Amino acid sequence: MLSQQLLLQQLTRIHLPGNANFICLADVIYYENRQNGVTREVMFGGTLMDINDKENDGINGFEASIPPVPPPHRPVKHRVPQQPSGARNNRPQRAKQPKPKKKYRVMRALLITVGLVALGAFLAFFALESASDMLGLAQDDKTITVKIPEGSGTGDIAKILKQSGVIETPLTFRLYSKFKKADGKYQFGEYILNSNMSYSQIIIALKSGNDRQDVVKISFPEGLTIWEIGKKLEENNVCTAQEFADTLQKEPFEYDFMKDIPANNPSRFYKYEGYIFPNTYDFFVGENPVSVAKKFFNSFNENITAEMYDRMKELGLTLDETITLASIIQKEASYPQDMNAVSGVFHNRFAQEDTYPQMQSDVTIFYVEKFIKPRLTTANQAMYDAYNTYKCTGLPAGPIANPGVDAIKAALYPDSNEYYYFLTDKEGKFYYAKTMAEHEKNIYAASKVGDVNGIATD
């Protein structure tokens, strides 16, 4: 073995007594004193042993005289201390690494800041929305019928009002109701409310015990003028006809469709004639004329569809031109099938404007004589002529009535025919003609029945 060889090399350099020598057996090297028979182990398994002989063996001080022999290189094996039998984990515990506390604190502070900002934004939005809803500000003017079942609590009522479109924030209504000490005082029944009512108005209405007794329901047929509509409102004590007409002329209304209505046209009579949509409405007795007008405008806005606007674009017509034509069709015909045929005649004349520059519709003259002239304090011939289709070219200055959906659709989807004239008799029968000669024959035939109206009958 290498360790034995190294040791022997070192030992042979030492002067020993004549009676001493070294013996090497396997992994053990012995020192032998032949004089007294003493034998000492010098090395066992590569480890140098103490060979100092306390007895006089002739080699005292021998250990110190032997140069140190480096031990052989062997891998050091570390023993892991054995855990007690009751220990839960027999594996050595790994030292805990310190956490990056500073980074964690920064992240936590950032998250808290973001959360507070988001919470603040939400609360601000909720507060603004609640205030707007509570005061009825910036809300649509829409009449809504609400039914409150017997035994309904404030929470149930708030939910019903939300689903019906009367309020937007049920939680705010419940809090406001508690603040006003109105909980438990609401009465069941059917109520007519408005989406622009404040919470106070709603609470007063729901505590009344039944629906308002000052609500009137009025139906307006197609083809009425603004003045005729105003008279019906006056008859039902909603507002006077003059108040209604003046409100339409003076108050600023903001609807997108109004952008297509010509502004500041001195020849136009009522600016919003044609846009007071015929329908059935609920009004309050003594209702504000502005609120009344908005109900008509809302209905108009809901009934003029995107498809209609697309069709107007295809035909090269504006909204105001479409409504003006529809108002004339509405006054000339009572039934959809007749409306489409009459519309076809007018479209044929528009397509041949050099030959037929005027529409020559009798109903436009009726509008001038019956509704324009009586309302003006001074004569206005320019306005009269702007509505008289026997004198003006093409369409008149504005609608002459408020048409319904059928007449509007007829203006956009005319029948395809070859007629340029039509008329009706007293019984409502229609006569169509391609030429003036044919038309004159129809006039003669219709006159025997009586009350001839139509194109070129004046």
DSSP 87-154: -S--SPPPPPPPP-HHHHHHHHHHHHHHHHHHHHHHHHHHHHHHHHHHHTTT----EEEEEE-TT--H
Per-range mean pLDDT, top range of 1-15, 83-97, 111-125, 414-428: 414-428
Lowest average pLDDT, out of 40-44, 113-117, 243-247, 453-457, goes to 40-44
353 and 399: one domain?
yes
Q: Are 278 and 227 within one domain?
A: yes
Q: Are residues 307 and 383 in the same domain?
A: yes
Residue 104 lies inside a defined structural domain of this protein: no
Domain stop point among 184, 206, 228:
206
Q: Do residues 285 and 351 both lie within one domain?
A: yes
User: Structural domain of residue 440, as residue ranges?
Assistant: 418-458
List Cβ neighbours of 70 (8 Å cut-off, separation of 6 or more): 6
More confident residue, 299 or 49: 299
Among residues 183, 206, 229, the one where a domain terminates is 206
22 domain-assigned:
yes
pLDDT in tens, 120-150: 766 666 565 666 666 665 577 777 888 889 8
Q: Which of 37, 65, 93 is the last residue of a domain?
A: 65
Query: What is the DSSP code string of 296-348?
Result: HHHHHHHHS-HHHHHHHHHHT--HHHHHHHHHHHHHH-SSHHHHHHHHHHHHH
Is the separation of the CB atoms in 47 and 4 below 8 Å? no
Let me know whether 340 and 456 are in one domain.
no
Shared domain check, 247 and 186: no
The verdict on residue 101 lying in a domain is no
pLDDT single digits (tens) 187-211: 888 787 888 888 888 888 888 665 5
Asked if 273 and 265 touch (Cβ cutoff 8 Å), the reply is: no
The answer to whether residue 119 is domain-embedded is: no
Q: What are phi and psi of 424, to 5 degrees?
A: -130, 155
User: Do 252 and 162 belong to one domain?
Assistant: no
Q: Alpha-carbon distance 284 to 291, whole Å?
A: 10
Q: Specify whether 303 is located in the same domain as 262.
A: yes
For residues 324 and 410, state if they share a domain.
yes
Structural domain includes residue 15: yes
Total domains, the chain: 4
Q: Is residue 83 part of a domain?
A: no
Distance CA 263, CA 282 (A): 30
Query: Are 217 and 281 contacting, i.e. CB atoms less than 8 angstroms apart?
Result: yes
Q: What is the pTM of this model?
A: 0.60
> What's the pLDDT score for residue 63?
41
Same domain, 182 and 284: no
Whether residue 82 contacts residue 61, with contact meaning beta carbons closer than 8 Å, is answered with: no
Each residue's pLDDT tens digit, 145-171: 888 898 899 999 999 999 989 898 899
Q: Is residue 53 part of a domain?
A: yes
**Do 428 and 380 reside in the same domain of the chain?**
no
- Would strands 215-219 and 280-284 be described as parallel, antiparallel, or unpaired? antiparallel
The answer to whether residues 398 and 426 belong to one domain is: no
Say if 128 falls within a structural domain.
Answer: no
Q: Residue 77: what pLDDT?
A: 54
